[in-house]
Chains A and B, each alone.
Chain A
Amino acid sequence: MSIDSLISRAMRGFREELRLYVVAVTSLAVAFLCLGAALLALQNLGAVAERWGKSGHITVYLRDGLEPAEITRLAAVLEGLREVDHVRVVSSEEARAEFLARTELGEEVAELGAEVFPASIEVGIVSGVTVEAIEKLAARIGALEGVSDVESYRGWFEQLASLLSAGKVGATVIAVLVGFCVFAVVGNTVRLSIARRRREIEVMKLCGATHGFVRGPFIVEGIVQGLLASALAVAALAAAFFALRAELNSAFSIFVGTEAVFLGPGLLALLVFSGAFIGATSSTLSLRRYLEI
């Protein structure tokens, strides 16, 4: 089959069904936009999970009556550990003041003395250390002289991790569902256009056209529709993302500790080409019943 004939027949299809194609491409673009948004959410949740999973923090409670020199020495020991990023010594008075500043209990607790609040060393862990490694580190610190107790916040991190993991699963399920919807929308749109042109297919078959000759322009049309729709969706998603990014970051980055990121080039290319692939596949599948003449 000549390429010229293929292209000219596909162009004729576009011209004749222009209105249908505009509607189809718009519908498909909306479907791809949903898919893109789900992927974007998935990617950012993944980034947050990774950031949080690797940003640890340990509180080392000190034994009562520890001398300032001993506390300074212990802080120096802790700061020298490979996994430790920084340390901050919190005296009993400072701990009491921080507690009172945060609590709303008022005068009832204001009478509590500083001895109720143990002195501690807040240990910041370098980025990239896993929860398991932090747990081992906490056990090692707990064995040091002058240490009363160590809080590694493992339970909190595990809850957070399970929350993020649930979010990722949810976003993945949505992405898969939207993917099916995209396939169904593309398939039905192409099927509608093919049904409208069944006389044309019948005529070609009766004149001796091979399946390939009949299929060719429809597949080209499916590819172009899918490409256009996914490219439009990516453009709309990018426009919305970059327009709202500053506000999103100012609203959420304090809590999540990471800035929103857009889909990477690989994922964008995958999204656009999946549009073309879905368009071509839908055309091929939809044509099958009309080729049996």
Chain B
Amino acid sequence: MVSNRESRGGRPFAFFRAGARVGAEGAERPILAFEDVYKFFGKDQPALRGLNLTIERGEFVFLTGPSGAGKSTLLKLVYRELTVDSGRILFCGRDIARLTDRSIPFLRRNLGIVFQDFKVVPHWTVFENVAIALEILELPARLVRSRVGEALERVGLSGRGDERVGTLSGGEQQRVAVARAIVSEPALLLADEPTGNLDPTLAVDVLTLFEEIHQTGTTVLFATHDHGLIERRDHRILSLEQGRVYDVRRGLASWSSSGVHAVREARRAAG
């Protein structure tokens, strides 16, 4: 486990940085584990039924399944927008279902979350949208500037920090959301249908961006129902249906996940 100033300050949840070296005990522990998790939205509406799955540190996992399969519910349980009805969800070995409300913000500082609807603030600038994740961590302004600059460079928006997000295209707005998700170097990146509102070419671009981020050591859990997007990637694919994992397989191992090749091929496939 990597603890930094957050844990030293007596915060209720330690801060785990992506790609950081972990101790022997931490290295053996999966970053995320679901143990017999149930979630109901009403008496006869189970969203998850006895879900068991494990995601290892540094893994890139696709979560797929039809609408209503429980993908978003699963992610919401991880960032504690929802609470499990029974079972355990262990993040870095800690049961997040047992966290107090006061601890939830500190859990979320370990997560980068990207949504289908981007969840950016349109009247803020690109810089402000990304910087907010670091301002919450109370980093000094100088460090915020440099790290936001780096994040924007990684998502291909270098030099566009002063533009209002509302004036950007959908793909660019999603890049801003990705930059915000990665700027604090979280241990786990959650993506809830991040390509759902994008055309196929942009979808491939965004997926490639996630893969590049993954290569720096970030664990990625990427929910999508777009099979065309994920089948040609060499990542584990978890298929959910009716609240259960019904299939676990890998995408095509022969395809490079290094980004550039995948983008070219996907673009060709998209026509």
Using a CB–CB distance below 8 Å, which chain A residues touch chain B? 1-2, 4-5, 9, 12, 16, 199-200, 202-210, 213, 293
Is the beta-carbon distance between B135 and A210 smaller than 8 angstroms? no
Is the beta-carbon distance between B132 and A207 smaller than 8 angstroms? yes
Which B residues from 171 to 212 make CB contacts under 8 A with A? 180, 184
User: Quick one: given A1-B138, A5-B135, are A207 and B121 in contact (CB under 8 Å)?
Assistant: no
Q: A16: which of B119, B123, B129 is its contact (CB, 8 Å)?
A: B123
State A2–B144 Cα separation when bound (angstroms): 14
State A70–B113 Cα separation when bound (angstroms): 104
- Closest A residue to B112 using CB positions: A207
Is B143 close to A, CB under 8 A? no
**Residues on the B chain within 8 Å of A207, using CB:** 108-109, 132-133, 136, 180, 184
B77 to chain A, nearest CB (A): 14
State A4–B139 Cα separation when bound (angstroms): 12
Is the beta-carbon distance between B136 and A204 smaller than 8 angstroms? yes
Is B120 close to A, CB under 8 A? yes
Is the beta-carbon distance between B119 and A202 smaller than 8 angstroms? yes
Is the beta-carbon distance between B138 and A5 smaller than 8 angstroms? yes
Is the beta-carbon distance between A199 and B121 smaller than 8 angstroms? yes
Is B40 close to A, CB under 8 A? no
Q: A209: which of B105, B111, B113, B184 is its contact (CB, 8 Å)?
A: B105
B76 to chain A, nearest CB (A): 11
Is B81 close to A, CB under 8 A? yes
State A293–B113 Cα separation when bound (angstroms): 14
- Closest A residue to B113 using CB positions: A206
State A203–B141 Cα separation when bound (angstroms): 20
- Closest B residue to A16 using CB positions: B123
State A142–B110 Cα separation when bound (angstroms): 92
Is the beta-carbon distance between B121 and A203 smaller than 8 angstroms? yes
A-B contact count (CB 8 A): 53
Q: B138: which of A2, A199, A200 is its contact (CB, 8 Å)?
A: A2
Using C-beta atoms within 8 Å of the partner chain, give the interface range for chain B: 20 to 34
B187 to chain A, nearest CB (A): 13
Q: A199: which of B119, B128, B137, B180 is its contact (CB, 8 Å)?
A: B119
Is the beta-carbon distance between A208 and B136 smaller than 8 angstroms? yes
Q: Tell which of A12, A206, A209 has the most Cβ of chain B within 10 Å.
A: A206
B101 to chain A, nearest CB (A): 9
Interface SS of chain A: helix
- Closest A residue to B109 using CB positions: A208
Is B79 close to A, CB under 8 A? yes
Is the beta-carbon distance between A206 and B138 smaller than 8 angstroms? no
A249 to chain B, nearest CB (A): 53
User: Scoring B residues 73 to 104 as 1 if CB is less than 8 Å from chain A, else 0, what string do you get?
Assistant: 00000010100000000000000000000100
**Residues on the B chain within 8 Å of A210, using CB:** 102, 105
- Closest A residue to B121 using CB positions: A200
**Residues on the B chain within 8 Å of A200, using CB:** 121, 124
A21 to chain B, nearest CB (A): 15
**Residues on the A chain within 8 Å of B129, using CB:** 203
Is the beta-carbon distance between A206 and B79 smaller than 8 angstroms? yes
Is the beta-carbon distance between A208 and B105 smaller than 8 angstroms? yes
State A236–B119 Cα separation when bound (angstroms): 44
Which B residues from 114 to 161 make CB contacts under 8 A with A? 119-124, 128-129, 132-133, 135-138, 141
**Residues on the A chain within 8 Å of B133, using CB:** 207-208
State A119–B177 Cα separation when bound (angstroms): 98
- Closest B residue to A17 using CB positions: B123
State A4–B135 Cα separation when bound (angstroms): 11
A39 to chain B, nearest CB (A): 40
State A2–B106 Cα separation when bound (angstroms): 17
Is the beta-carbon distance between A204 and B132 smaller than 8 angstroms? yes
State A293–B108 Cα separation when bound (angstroms): 12
Is the beta-carbon distance between A208 and B106 smaller than 8 angstroms? yes
State A71–B85 Cα separation when bound (angstroms): 100
Which 8 A-B pairs rank lowest in CB-CB distance, beginning with the nearest?
A208-B109, A208-B108, A207-B133, A208-B105, A209-B136, A210-B105, A200-B121, A207-B136
Is the beta-carbon distance between B108 and A206 smaller than 8 angstroms? yes
Q: A206: which of B102, B119, B124, B128 is its contact (CB, 8 Å)?
A: B119
B139 to chain A, nearest CB (A): 10
**Residues on the A chain within 8 Å of B124, using CB:** 200
**Residues on the A chain within 8 Å of B102, using CB:** 210
State A208–B105 Cα separation when bound (angstroms): 4
Q: Tell which of A205, A206, A208, A293 has the most Cβ of chain B within 10 Å.
A: A208
Interchain residue pairs with CB less than 8 A apart (9): A4-B141, A9-B135, A200-B124, A203-B119, A207-B109, A207-B132, A207-B133, A209-B132, A209-B136
- Closest B residue to A201 using CB positions: B121
**Residues on the B chain within 8 Å of A209, using CB:** 105, 132, 136
- Closest A residue to B181 using CB positions: A207
**Residues on the A chain within 8 Å of B119, using CB:** 199, 202-203, 206
**Residues on the B chain within 8 Å of A213, using CB:** 105, 136
**Residues on the B chain within 8 Å of A205, using CB:** 105, 108
B208 to chain A, nearest CB (A): 24
Q: B132: which of A2, A4, A203 is its contact (CB, 8 Å)?
A: A203
B87 to chain A, nearest CB (A): 23
State A260–B135 Cα separation when bound (angstroms): 54
State A200–B141 Cα separation when bound (angstroms): 20
